Amino acid sequence: MILDRVLPFARTIMEKAAGPNDIVVDATLGNGHDTVFLANLVGPRGHVYGFDIQKQAIINTRARLKEHNLEERVTIFHSGHEHVAELIPTLHHGEIKGAIFNLGYLPGGDKSIVTTPKTTLQAVQSLFDILAPEGVIVLVIYHGHEEGAVERDQLLSYLTEIDQKTAHVLQYQFINQKNHPPFIVAIEKK
Ligand code: SAM
């Protein structure tokens, strides 16, 4: 397949937005796959701030980082991503080059614990405020479950109204696949 699938494309965007020595955010740690990717992307002098509300996600992410010897590059907050602006040191406000959200539930975990429209929107708005110019927020939207469809609709209605003078907003989606495959929305701050 020539076209990038959704998850690799999310990473391609992050690779364009951030690199060695940068500050980035993993807004949904989950099992830590993106955290490891981001920690490698920013290198030993960069930093990743990660958020998750579930103890199991924190445990899984810490274990994965340990396995790759990357713990020192990541600060983990056992807290909702809606608190990004309070928890990320003010020193780094305005310096964040990239943030990724993988919405929905923890794979292999409790499927009743999902990201919610209200807190996801709060987090996107707060993160946008503390992004660097040309910083990017990537959201992978899973809309196959009921709450995911509501989250998708609320996010899209907010994102499509963002003033084009302040941000470029992109949607990347395969439109002929069955079973509600995930899609990407990316917001680049001008
Ligand atoms: N990126 C992860 C990976 O690479 O394994 C997968 C993330 S998983 C699809 C979604 C995660 O979002 C779950 O672990 C869930 O606990 C977390 N979550 C739900 N609400 C949250 C919130 N308000 N703030 C931060 N994380 C949240």
> What is the per-residue pLDDT for 52?
98
Atom 20 in ligand 1: residue holding the nearest Cα? 115
Give 91-111 pLDDT, tens digit per residue.
999 999 999 999 999 999 999
* The pLDDT value given to residue 42: 98
Pocket test for ligand 1, best of 78, 103, 115, 183 (most atoms within 8 A of CB): 115
Digits of tens for pLDDT over the chain (190 positions)? 999 999 999 999 999 999 999 999 999 999 999 999 999 999 999 999 999 999 999 999 999 999 999 999 999 999 999 999 999 999 999 999 999 999 999 999 999 999 999 999 999 999 999 999 999 999 999 999 999 999 999 999 999 999 999 999 999 999 999 999 999 999 999 9
> How high is the pLDDT of residue 171?
98
Is the C-beta atom of 50 inside 6 A of ligand 1? no
Contact assessment for residue 117 and residue 155, using Cβ atoms and an 8 Å cutoff: yes
**The pLDDT value given to residue 48:** 98
Query: What pLDDT is stored for residue 143 in this prediction?
Result: 96
Ligand 1 in reach of 121 Cβ (< 6 A): no
- How many angstroms from the chain centroid is the CA of residue 109? 19
Tell me, what's the pLDDT at 100?
Answer: 98
Distance CA 90, CA 23 (A): 12
Tens of pLDDT, residue by residue over 44-61, are 999 999 999 999 999 999
- Counted residue by residue, the chain has a size of 190
Q: How far apart are the first and last CA of the chain?
A: 32
CA atoms 40, 44, 45, 49: torsion sign? positive
Q: Distance from the CA of 112 to the center of ligand 1, in angstroms?
A: 12
Give distance in angstroms: CA of 186 to centre of ligand 1.
18
Q: Nearest C-alpha to atom 7 of ligand 1 is from which residue?
A: 30
Please give, one letter per residue, the 3-state secondary structure of the chain.
CCCCCHHHHHHHHHHHHCCCCCEEEECCCCCCHHHHHHHHHHCCCCEEEEECCCHHHHHHHHHHHHHCCCHHHEEEECCCHHHHHHHCCHHHCCCEEEEEEECCECCCCCCCCECCHHHHHHHHHHHHHHEEEEEEEEEEECCCCHHHHHHHHHHHHHHCCCCCCCEEEEEECCCCCCCCCCEEEEEEEC
**The two structure tokens encoding residue 71:** 């713990």
Q: What is the pLDDT of residue 162?
A: 97
CA 53 – CA 29 distance, rounded (Å): 9
